[in-house]
């Protein structure tokens, strides 16, 4: 009897050890139990107690003298000593691109502004980067790091990219920026996208030479293949292109920022093929998606084949933009395990709150996406928007997958649609669950095309439970 009792206790102990930390009300494992585990891996870097003021190396605070070389010397000296803080004191400092090194915190004191040149020539020679999910040689990002560890941009100061409709943003008008030597109708972006669809075995991204004479604007901040990153506290203005774009990075913290930039394609924060990312307490007022999670485009993204995963977004405010939290469209490497909570999205110039965009050329698997406690005031289009027909649509061989999306405790006050979901007949959107949510001021009926498993529990649209009309098409 004693041996039987011992076996029972051992079995009970084994079952308890294997069980999830938390259980949902329905008895199923609670996916939010993963959040503390992810947060335990996300740790902001620390730095030695050494300080290197850029003024010591010749930087001038009048906003006119070129401080580029002084900043470079301060970074080199700090790195040579084993790391520390490169200090930008109060004042306005004009600079070209800044390349960070390991164990360096670029700290902007209160009242400090780094004013970046808006002359493309200052961002040559080309460096290895990613542009809309495609690797290439292009202009340097305004702040860049490659293969570094323990890097930070912190402080209460301002980063101003000085982009205007007459400088960087003019490159968006492709009719005025043709590729030299190519016929009318061609442009840099189209050329790059064709290269992204070449056979994987023949691809060489370092032979994709862009930069000067082309029209691919650089992102503002891009750590590339880096670990242990902190971007905290600063204000970011007038970016040429995407604002914060960590690529192939691990352990990333983005918090306490104020991002205001209304140029073309001015996405706020785009983690791309990154793992263990925390975005919190950020104010977004942007010209494109506030947050857009990505993982590479088309065949080039499949060549790299690294997903974005284990991403936590919380306590953020989204004003203007195309989407509040977006996944895609450059999502060929896939995306999984995204947790979004306690965010507020509200503007007549915010098109959608939660947005998924992909197609049969991108492909990729998007799964295990969780939202809770989301307050939406006004959006122009849909509160929840999924579109497999984005850009190229069904004309491709790489069927996209979206599954396991759970939305809880969401409210909205004004929108065209509550749900606009368009999948493919050959690959329907699957397992979308909405609970304990209220959508008011909705002007149009839900659009549900090729959706397999849409569950609404304790949900009201304009004060009544939804009666979704599922539209089916013969071809996806």
Of the CA atoms within 13 Å of residue 76, those in its CB half-sphere come to 7
Strands of 281-400 (E only): list them.
283-286, 291-293, 308-314, 317-318, 321-328, 335-345, 350-357, 365-378, 382-387
- Determine the Cα angle at 437 with ends 277 and 321, to 5°: 50
Question: What is the Cα–Cα distance from 66 to 95, expressed in whole angstroms?
Answer: 6
**13 φ/ψ angles, rounded to the nearest 5 degrees:** -65, -40
Question: What is the Cα–Cα distance from 52 to 84, expressed in whole angstroms?
Answer: 8
Question: Of all helices (H) and strands (E), which one includes residue 218?
Answer: none
Strands of 201-347 (E only): list them.
221-224, 227-232, 235-237, 250-255, 258-261, 275-280, 283-286, 291-293, 308-314, 317-318, 321-328, 335-345
Q: Does residue 285 have an active-site annotation? A: no
Per-residue burial over 105-131, b if 16 or more Cβ lie within 10 Å, else e, is bbbbeeebbbbbbbebebbeebbbbbb
Distance of CA 458 to the CA centre of its chain: 31
- Classify burial at 179, counting beta carbons within 10 Å of its beta carbon; exposed 0-12, middle 13-18, buried 19 or more: middle
> Which positions ≥6 away from 86 have C-beta within 8 Å?
52, 54, 71, 74, 75, 78, 104, 105, 106, 107
Question: What is the Cα–Cα distance from 258 to 244, expressed in whole angstroms?
Answer: 12
Q: 240 preceded by cis ω (within 30°)?
A: no
DSSP reduced 3-state for 132: coil
Question: Per the structure block, which two tokens stand in for 29?
Answer: 């494992």
Distance of CA 447 to the CA centre of its chain: 26
Catalytic residue among 107, 172, 322, 385: 322
Catalytic residue among 288, 320, 346, 351: 288
CB of 149 within 8 A of CB of 102? yes
Q: Does residue 346 have an active-site annotation? A: no
**CA gyration radius, the chain:** 24
> Which positions ≥6 away from 378 have C-beta within 8 Å?
346, 347, 348, 350, 413, 414, 415, 441
Q: Which residues are catalytic?
A: 288, 322
């Amino acid at each position: 009897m004693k041996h039987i009792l011992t076996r029972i206790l051992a079995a009970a102990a084994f079952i308890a050890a294997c069980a999830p930390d938390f259980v949902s009300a329905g008895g199923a494992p609670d996916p939010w139990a993963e959040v503390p585990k992810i947060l335990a891996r996300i740790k902001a870097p620390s730095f030695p107690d050494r300080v290197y003021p850029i003024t010591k190396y010749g930087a001038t605070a009048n906003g006119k003298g070129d401080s580029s070389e002084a900043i470079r010397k301060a970074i080199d000296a700090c790195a040579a000593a084993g790391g520390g803080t490169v200090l930008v004191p109060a004042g306005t400092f004009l600079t070209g691109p800044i390349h960070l090194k390991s164990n360096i915190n670029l700290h902007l004191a209160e009242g400090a502004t780094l004013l970046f040149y808006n002359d493309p020539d200052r961002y040559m020679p080309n460096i290895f980067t990613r542009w809309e999910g495609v690797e290439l040689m292009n202009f340097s990002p305004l702040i860049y790091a490659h293969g570094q560890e323990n890097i930070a941009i912190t402080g209460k100061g301002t980063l101003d990219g000085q982009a205007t409709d007459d400088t960087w943003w003019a490159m968006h008008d492709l009719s005025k920026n043709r590729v030299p030597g190519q016929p009318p109708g061609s442009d840099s972006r189209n050329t790059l996208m064709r290269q992204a669809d070449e056979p994987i075995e023949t691809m060489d991204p370092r032979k994709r030479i862009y930069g000067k004479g082309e029209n691919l604007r650089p992102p503002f901040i891009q750590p590339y293949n880096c670990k242990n990153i902190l971007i905290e506290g600063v204000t970011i203005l007038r970016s040429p292109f995407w604002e914060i774009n960590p690529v192939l990075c691990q352990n990333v913290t983005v918090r306490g920022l104020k991002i205001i930039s209304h140029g073309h394609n001015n996405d706020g924060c785009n983690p791309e093929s990154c793992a263990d990312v925390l975005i919190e307490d950020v104010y977004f007022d942007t010209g494109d998606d506030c947050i857009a999670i990505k993982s590479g485009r088309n065949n080039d993204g499949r060549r790299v084949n690294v997903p974005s995963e284990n991403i936590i977004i919380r306590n953020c405010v989204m004003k203007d933009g195309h989407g509040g939290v977006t996944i895609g469209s450059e999502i060929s490497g896939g995306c999984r395990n995204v947790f979004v909570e306690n965010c507020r999205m509200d503007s007549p110039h915010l098109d959608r709150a939660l947005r998924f965009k992909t197609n049969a050329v991108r492909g990729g698997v998007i799964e295990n996406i969780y939202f809770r406690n989301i307050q939406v005031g006004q959006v122009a289009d849909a509160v929840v928007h999924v579109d497999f027909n984005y850009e190229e649509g069904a004309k491709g061989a790489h069927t996209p997958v979206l599954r396991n999306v759970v939305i809880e405790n969401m409210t909205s006050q004004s929108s065209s649609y509550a749900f606009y979901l368009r999948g493919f007949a050959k690959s329907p959107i699957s397992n979308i669950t909405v609970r304990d949510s209220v959508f008011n001021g909705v002007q149009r009926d839900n659009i549900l095309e090729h959706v397999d498993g849409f569950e609404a529990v304790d949900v009201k649209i304009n004060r009544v439970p939804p009666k979704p009309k599922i539209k089916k098409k013969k071809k996806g």
